[in-house]
Amino acid sequence: MSKYTTIVGLEVHVQLATQSKLFCRCSTQFGAAPNTQTCPVCIGLPGSLPVMNREALRLSLRTALAIGCEIPPLTKWDRKQYYYPDLPKGYQISQFDMPMSEHGYLEISDAKDRFETKRIRILRAHLEEDAGKSSHDESAARGDSLIDLNRTGTPLLEIVSEPDMRGALEARAYLDELKLLLTYLGVSDCNMQEGSLRVDANVNLHLDESGERIATPIVEIKNMNSFRAVERAIDYEAIRQYTLWQESRQKIGDVPKQTRGWDDAAGMTRGQRSKEESSDYRYFPDPDLAPVRFSSEEIEKSRNGLGELPAALRARLQSEFGLSLYDAGVLVNQGRELVDYFFAAVGQGAPAKAVCNWVSQEVLRVLKERELGIDAFPISAGQLVDFIAKLESGQLPSSRSREVFDAMHSKNQSADQAMQKLGIEEVDDSALENLCRELLEANPQVVADVQGGKQQAVGALIGQAKKKNPNADPGRVRGICLELIGRGL
């Protein structure tokens, strides 16, 4: 029994895959030269008027429905006011008390059963604009910071979970599942390096102190640049908070919520300048933007167009095709195209488990090595089915299957062509028996050993058999030899 439970809630900011910004038509393309994608609206010049991007609304609605959110009858945008150099208007257009969606959930499970399948409740998902970027030349000591406003006004969907995760493992599972879902939905490229997906974590501890349930103060962790960093930061923070609790005995409410930044190189969180003074954002409805009402037709249309999502797909692979949760996860994590390849092969009669094994091991290996997508994979689903059938019937010895597989994808050959080129043909039983008899006669010591009870002595003959006939199947050679010895040759 652990001394404490780590409680985690996550705020995920997802950049939506629109061409233009949320309230102006400047490009959202990543990587452009600084300050070449701005206009009077996104740099907050007087007299400019923001107008809502219809595609951003569509993508938000699609995501909100996929995470099981309710869509309120009316939604509006508010100004969240604070002063920061990367926020040219002096306020961020966000959503305060009437978010576009609320009360959803995401189910997480673990193929290795390290935690039980559970629903993580989602408090809300709201649509807001991104800020710009500031950079500071460290070498310039006290020099100026450079502000690039290209990113200002890019649409972000902020997905706020309830504090339903217990520890880093569940937080990681939630992030992996959310990212996979967003990828299936096609609403974001989810590229963490380019900042398309950003995560803040709220962490505190629950502990039992002589029968009393105690919660420690909540700490918000920022600046985590990978899912791995999120896991490490949570693990670090739990230990730090437990140590601090033992010293200070501070409970939730005793001190204001603290913000700490993750330092990945140092492997620790550091306290950030208190923003207590600016915690009063003085939200008020943005008078420049009209509220939005999603019609029920629009909501139904969006819901019907979600397609088969990862959780449903995994469930189907398990129930209809008998795959394990782990195997289903491996296929689904690679994207819908790979799952479709699996379906195509199974649909042509190949056994699901065999197809799954070849796809999740050899096919994925080759795709990775050759940096290909499944759409460009040289072995068609039909050819894979043919290959597996030859293997299952014994026409292709399993010991040589990898050679054939490699020839098929590297030389664009069919299973038949590859086997022919490699000189693989089925060795019939009588030929194999003759071969075994020859070997046993030449190796009386092996025969004596087996008769003396050491069956494994036969192993010494398998290498010799393969030298004499590369198509000899090791399993069959072993079986026939034992049988012959048993019959007294």
Residue closer to other proteins (CB basis): 38 or 401:
38
Among 5, 48, 81, 399, binds other proteins (CB under 8 A): 81
**What is the rounded CA–CA span in Å between residue 210 and residue 214?**
10
Pairing of strands 78-81, 197-209: unpaired
Which one, of 79, 80, 119, lies nearest residue 103 by Cα?
A: 119
Binding to other proteins, residues 280-309 (CB under 8 A): 280, 282, 285, 287, 289-293
Q: How far is the CB of 155 from other proteins (least distance, A)?
A: 10
Check residue 229 and report its DSSP letter: H
Alpha helices in 67-198 (DSSP H): 168-185
Which of other proteins, Zn ion, none binds 54 (CB below 5-8 Å, type-dependent)? Answer: other proteins
How many C-beta neighbours within 10 Å does residue 390 have? Answer: 20
Q: Closest approach of Cβ 285 to other proteins, in Å?
A: 6
Interface with Zn ion includes 481 (CB under 5 A)? no
- All residues at 6 or more sequence positions from 418 whose CB lies less than 8 Å from its CB, including other chains: 403, 404, 407, 408, 411
Residue 39 engages Zn ion in binding (rule: CB under 5 A)? yes
CB closer to other proteins out of 222 and 316:
222
Determine if 18 is a binding residue for other proteins (CB under 8 A).
Answer: yes
CA separation for the pair 425, 470 (Å, rounded): 10
CB proximity list for 439: less than 8 A, separation 6 or greater: 461, 464, 465, 468, 481
Residue with smaller CB distance to Zn ion, 37 or 95:
37
Residue 60 or 216: the one with the smaller Cβ distance to other proteins is: 60
Report if residue 147 touches other proteins, rule: CB under 8 A: yes
Nearer to Zn ion, 45 or 448 (CB): 45
Report the C-alpha gap between 384 and 349 in whole angstroms: 11
What the block records as the tokens of 121 is 């409740």
Which one of residues 7, 17, 22, 24 is an interface residue with Zn ion (CB under 5 A)? Answer: 24
Q: CA-CA distance, 33 to 11, in Å (whole number)? A: 29
Task: List the structure tokens of 37.
Answer: 């994608």
Tell me how crowded residue 236 is: count the other CB atoms within 10 A of its CB.
20
Sole residue written with tokens 């039909």 = 382
Q: Is 32 in the site for Zn ion (CB under 5 A)?
A: no
363: left (phi over 0), alpha (psi -120 to 50) or beta: alpha
Classify residue 298 as exposed, middle or buried by CB count within 10 Å of its CB (0-12, 13-18, 19+). middle
| Binding status of residue 228 toward other proteins by CB under 8 A | no
What is the smallest separation between the CB atom of 272 and other proteins, expressed in angstroms?
Answer: 6
Asked if 11 interacts with other proteins (CB under 8 A), we say: no
Residue count, binding to Zn ion (CB under 5 A): 5
Minimum gap (Å) between residue 117 Cβ and other proteins? 36
Q: Which does 266 bind (CB under 5 to 8 A by kind): other proteins, Zn ion, none?
A: none
Q: Verify binding: residue 142, other proteins, rule CB under 8 A.
A: yes
- Sole binder of other proteins in the list 7, 9, 12, 20 (CB under 8 A): 20
Q: Which residues bind other proteins (CB under 8 A)?
A: 18-20, 25-27, 33-40, 43, 51-57, 74, 76, 81-86, 98, 134, 136, 142-149, 222-223, 261, 272-273, 277-278, 280, 282, 285, 287, 289-293
Q: Which residues bind Zn ion (CB under 5 A)?
A: 24, 26, 39, 41-42
